[in-house]
């Protein structure tokens, strides 16, 4: 694999443990100002240091993410339809490769809609995007199975994920399902699981745990983090499973503990503290005991 491609992939799937925690905030590209993501800047700011990468559109990246961040960006480059339009699956590529490079994207993300009216268009677009991105060593993440009417069972998800991989996607994002292991086994590239609709915190932690147990490299979670009453506590609890090997009880205990401690005292100058400004994620986790290491990034 080319050095650039490998390097970018390792920014998203951490080589220390082959796991990934992505924070998804790209929902506005078809949902507009969806609940609790009305002000992306305020949502992203406290969470950025707890995710390995941020899934974002170029408009939100440019306006709501500080250019000084060292968190990798997974740039959504597809769109064209809205939740009130005729057909959500009618997407095209909306961002040029040049603009993605200007934005220093670590990966490009687009959706395919297998089994929908626009299946052909979106699958061909994926193939074309991989060809373009590969030229510059940029990996492509294919998002599958978004859409109400699509069945999200093992059979459908295996088909959709495999088609994405066959077109050359480097990572496939899909939903968790019963017999999820089978979806993973028949897909030759890493699978990351979308969080889906907001569910109780413990259930979202269970979903994270099950996904990893089933062979996913991690989660690309949005609503179950920023629609939680306590987004920071929630992302840290999810992180404790993805990178700290915590089980669901341990992660939920951490969530409750962080909630009970409440927000940390505000730094008056509004500048990051020394501890917070340090980029921690390039260091391997010092967890020799193999016990969960849930609190720290
Ligand atoms: C929408 C997306 C979202 O990023 C994805 O659905 C993840 O977010 P959530 O955890 O809220 O489902 O790709 O097309």
| Best of 21, 25, 26 for a ligand 1 pocket test (most atoms within 8 Å of beta carbon) | 26
Q: Which two tokens stand for residue 204?
A: 């979202």
What is the structure's pLDDT at 200? 98
Nearest atom (ligand 1) to Cα of 227: 11
Domain interval for residue 49 = 3-233
pLDDT computed for residue 151 by the predictor = 72
pTM listed for this prediction:
0.88
41 lies in some domain: yes
Q: Single out the residue of 165, 212, 166 nearest to residue 189, CA to CA.
A: 165
High-pLDDT (> 70) share of the chain, %: 87
260 within some domain: no
**Residues 238-293: tens digit of each pLDDT:** 999 999 999 999 999 999 999 999 876 544 443 433 333 333 443 333 333 333 44
**Residue 258: inside a domain:** no
Ligand 1 centroid to residue 27 C-alpha, Å? 6
Helix (H) or strand (E) holding 20: strand 20-24
The response to whether residue 223 sits with its C-beta less than 6 Å from ligand 1 reads yes
CATH code of the domain covering residue 125: 3.20.20.70
Q: How many domains does the chain have?
A: 1
- Whether 148 has a pLDDT exceeding 70, the answer reads no
Is 122 contained in some domain? yes
| Any domain includes 261 | no
Concatenate the DSSP letters of all residues of 221-287 into one string.
ESHHHHTSS-HHHHHHHHHHHHTT---HHHHHHHHHHHHHH-SPPP-TT-SPPHHHHS--TTSPP--
Judged by phi (left if over 0) then psi (alpha if -120 to 50, else beta), residue 3 lies in alpha
- The pLDDT value recorded for residue 149 is 61
Residue with CA at minimum distance from ligand 1 atom 4: 24
The answer to whether residue 262 sits within a structural domain is no
Residue 91: CB within 6 Å of ligand 1?
no
**pLDDT on residue 293:** 42
If we measure between CA atoms, which residue out of 90, 70, 71, 69 comes closest to residue 80? Answer: 90
Is 286 inside a domain boundary? Answer: no
Comparing 98-102, 143-147, 216-220, which segment has the lowest mean pLDDT? 143-147
Q: Is residue 31 part of a domain?
A: yes
173 labelled catalytic: yes
Mean pLDDT throughout 42-58? 98
175-225: pLDDT as tens digits: 999 999 999 999 999 999 999 999 999 999 999 999 999 999 999 999 999
């Amino acid at each position: 694999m080319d050095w650039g491609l490998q390097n970018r992939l390792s920014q998203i799937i951490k080589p220390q443990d082959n796991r990934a925690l992505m924070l998804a905030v790209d929902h506005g590209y078809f949902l507009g100002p969806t609940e609790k993501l009305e002000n992306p800047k305020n949502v992203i700011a406290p969470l950025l240091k707890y995710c390995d990468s941020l899934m974002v559109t170029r408009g939100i990246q440019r306006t709501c993410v500080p250019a000084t961040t060292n968190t990798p960006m997974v740039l959504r480059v597809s769109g064209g339809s809205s939740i009130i339009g005729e057909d959500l699956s009618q997407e095209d590529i909306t961002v040029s490769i040049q603009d993605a490079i200007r934005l220093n994207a670590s990966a490009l993300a687009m959706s395919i809609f297998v089994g929908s009216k626009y299946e052909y268009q979106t699958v061909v677009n994926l193939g074309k995007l991989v060809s373009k991105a590969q030229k510059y060593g940029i990996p492509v993440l294919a998002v599958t199975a978004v859409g109400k009417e699509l069945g999200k069972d093992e059979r459908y998800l295996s088909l959709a994920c495999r088609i994405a991989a066959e077109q050359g996607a480097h990572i496939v994002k899909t939903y968790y399902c019963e017999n999820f292991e089978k979806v993973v086994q028949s897909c030759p590239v890493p699978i990351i699981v979308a969080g889906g609709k907001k569910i109780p915190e413990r259930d979202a932690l269970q979903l994270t745990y099950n996904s990893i147990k089933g062979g996913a490299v991690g989660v690309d979670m949005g609503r179950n983090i920023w629609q939680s009453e306590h987004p920071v506590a929630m992302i840290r609890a999810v992180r404790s499973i993805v990178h700290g090997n915590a089980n669901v009880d341990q992660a939920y205990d951490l969530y409750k503990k962080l909630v009970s401690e409440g927000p940390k005292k505000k730094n008056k100058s509004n500048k990051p503290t020394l501890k917070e400004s340090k980029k921690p994620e390039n260091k391997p986790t010092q967890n020799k005991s193999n016990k969960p290491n849930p609190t720290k990034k």
